[in-house]
Structure 1
Amino acid sequence: MPKGAADGGAATARRRGNPLALAVLAQLGDRPMHPYEIARVLKEGRKDESVRLNYGSLYSVITALVRDGLIETAGTEQDGNRPQRTVYRLTADGRAEVDDWMRCLLGTPVKEYPQFMAALSFMQVLRPDDAAPLLRARLVALRVAALRIEEDLERRTEADPAPFTAETEYELALLQAEVRYVEALVHRLGDGSLDGLGAWRDRPLEDVPS
């Protein structure tokens, strides 16, 4: 494989591992913007709840997208005595990239690695009697979070059509599914019906040298 093709493939893989790059491309697909405006629009649309946003990362992403030819400088703007701001716009390659990226994300499931799944995978390092109250505390926090999102979603859907709240609906669905799972797990721990509970209780824990 030619080196350029390999380098391009690596760049695409790195970019597609960073949802903030997708957010920048998507926003510039609406109109040219400067970085501060991109951040403001993302926050106003609550997109910072689904994409981790900070200014240092945002400028690094923009630099990489310019380097890869997916966005380009469209000019500068100045508001009063503030420093000039560089405005960026999507290129033809950038439009093709965001379209292909979105088609992949929407149409192809990928393996993700949630922290709670890792916690469940290694839960046996604790005693069942230690794990149970932690799960009950998690359950309370999950219910509170789900209620908050339900109330927020009800307010938002009065003003925003469904496509613009889809990520919040998905977040709520995940929370509700986790609530049901943790409820069942807590119940099985409590009534002793969890498979392997006896062996878990009897499992020796290694002494950790002081």
Structure 2
Amino acid sequence: MRRKVANPLALAVLAHLVMGPMHPYELGKQLKETGKDRNIKYNRGSLYMVVEQLRKAGFIVEHETVKDTQRPERTVYALTDAGRDEMYDWMRQLVSDPQHEYPQFGVALSLIAVLSPTEAVELLRDRVGALAKEISETRSLIGKAGDDGVEWVFLVEEEYRISLLDAELRFVTGLISSFEGTDYRRSWEQHFGREP
């Protein structure tokens, strides 16, 4: 299904507006405070651009304009019925329907044969170290959030991240063994010549 506004940041905006009308700055602050910025890349400009796209699509409306002495005038946005319907439809699709994604590591793997076995092993070992570090940091983040009383459902995307990282770590470790095998080295040299 083709969506009027397909940016994942738009879905996050709609989901946060379910809780009530907000100013884009407040939305951005909540995304950061809840760690959603680890899964949804954005900056201030892209956030305001998505808010405007959602407004034009009829998914949100200007709720009120707030003026206080400390800050410039701020527009607060609210979810429309169409926006609520769009958000729930989009969420149901994302949760139930697996989509093929194109991660950059998949691209690298599809072309990795051009690297010498020695270099491939060195680079994959670097990746193992980076993956182990990210797994450790994510587990620490989950532990701290749990200690702070954050409900598990608000950390589920981090648990998913750990599952993917663990699977990738196992895969890369096995791949290193394959690259270190003498049969592969011999085959690589037949196709590409001797290693530098």
Give the conservation status (yes or no) of the 8 Å contact 1:128–1:201: no
CA distance in 2, matches of 1:96, 1:165: 25
Give the conservation status (yes or no) of the 8 Å contact 1:35–1:58: yes
Match of 2:192 in 1: 204
CA distance in 2, matches of 1:185, 1:197: 13
Match of 1:107 in 2: 96
Q: State the SS of the aligned residue for 2:9.
A: helix
Give the AA of the match of 1:185: L
Give the AA of the match of 2:52: T
1:170 to 160, 166, 172: 160
Q: CA deviation at 1:91?
A: 0.1
Q: State the SS of the aligned residue for 2:76.
A: strand
1:143 to 107, 127, 132: 132
Match of 2:119 in 1: 130
- Which structure 2 residue ranges, 5 or more long, are not aligned? none
Q: What is the TM-score normalised by the length of structure 2?
A: 0.93
Aligned residues: 192
Give the conservation status (yes or no) of the 8 Å contact 1:34–1:86: yes
Match of 1:185 in 2: 175
Give the conservation status (yes or no) of the 8 Å contact 2:117–2:180: no
Match of 1:72 in 2: 61
Counting aligned pairs with the same residue, the percent is 41
Q: CA deviation at 1:197?
A: 4.8
Give CA-to-partner distance per residue, 1:21-48, whole Å, 9 cap, x none. Answer: 0011011111100010000011110110
CA distance in 2, matches of 1:78, 1:173: 46
Q: What is the TM-score normalised by the length of structure 1?
A: 0.87
Give the conservation status (yes or no) of the 8 Å contact 1:72–1:90: yes
CA distance in 1, matches of 2:16, 2:28: 10
Q: Which has the higher contact order (CA 8 A, sep 6+)?
A: 2
CA distance in 1, matches of 2:126, 2:137: 17
After TM superposition, list the pairs within 5 Å mapping 1:9-158 onto structure 2. Answer: 12=3, 15-16=5-6, 18-158=7-147
CA distance in 2, matches of 1:181, 1:192: 19
Give the AA of the match of 2:79: L
Q: CA deviation at 1:81?
A: 2.6
Give the AA of the match of 2:159: E
Q: Tell me how large the CA RMSD over aligned residues is.
A: 1.5
CA distance in 1, matches of 2:69, 2:182: 69
Q: State the SS of the aligned residue for 1:147.
A: helix
Give CA-to-partner distance per residue, 1:185-209, whole Å, 9 cap, x none. Answer: 112222446xx5532232127xxxx
Q: State the SS of the aligned residue for 1:112.
A: coil
